[in-house]
Amino acid sequence: ELGADYISVSAGSRFEDALTPAEGYPPDPMSGYSGHRMSPWFWWPDGCHVYLSEAIRKTVRGAGFQTPIIIAGKIREPEHAEEILREEKADIIGLCRALLCDPDFPIKAKEGRDKEIVRCVACNWCLEADSRYEKVNCDRWPKPNVVAPEPFLPNMASAGQFKKEYL
């Protein structure tokens, strides 16, 4: 039977409200209001998208489906994640910036080592690097000797899509 394996809930990142890019550069969907919604800054409340997953989950369950609902968006504390799951507002917690800040977040949380977790402060250092086509990392990651492998970067500059010096 056909169906969805899961529904991933977030918000934002539309080109319609993006700032006009400099000549020769691609538009950045993260530059407008909706982009700030997708990766909420420090002034947004933690879990600011949870109301969306809660409503979607209730609707999906009400229709008789058991499709898991994933929620993401400024979930930075293990206890907060557990609360969302306990209150059945989502079935899976999606983490991105929290894992950039501390890749061992899930292990430390599972082992009850919450005090050792390096917390994301939602400064969006990682997002700013991404918008400049630089390596994405976290300014708070305390292990300078641990370097991720070079990512695969297609040569889009040669295809005339981006200015070469930007990549």
Within a domain: 162: yes
Q: Give the chain's domain count.
A: 1
Residue 53 belongs to domain spanning: 7-138+152-166
* Three-state DSSP class for residue 71: strand
Instruction: Summarize pLDDT for 93-146 with one digit per residue, the tens.
Output: 999 999 999 999 999 999 999 999 999 999 888 888 877 778 888 888 776 655
Q: Tell me the per-residue pLDDT of 22-63, one tens digit each, with 9 for 90 and over.
A: 888 777 777 777 677 778 888 889 999 999 999 999 999 999
On whether residue 147 sits in a domain, the answer given is: no
Q: Longest Cα pair distance anywhere in the chain, in angstroms?
A: 52
Say if CB 75 and CB 53 are below 8 A apart: no
State the pTM of this model.
Answer: 0.75
Go through the chain and tell me how many residues it has. 167
CATH number (domain holding residue 58): 3.20.20.70
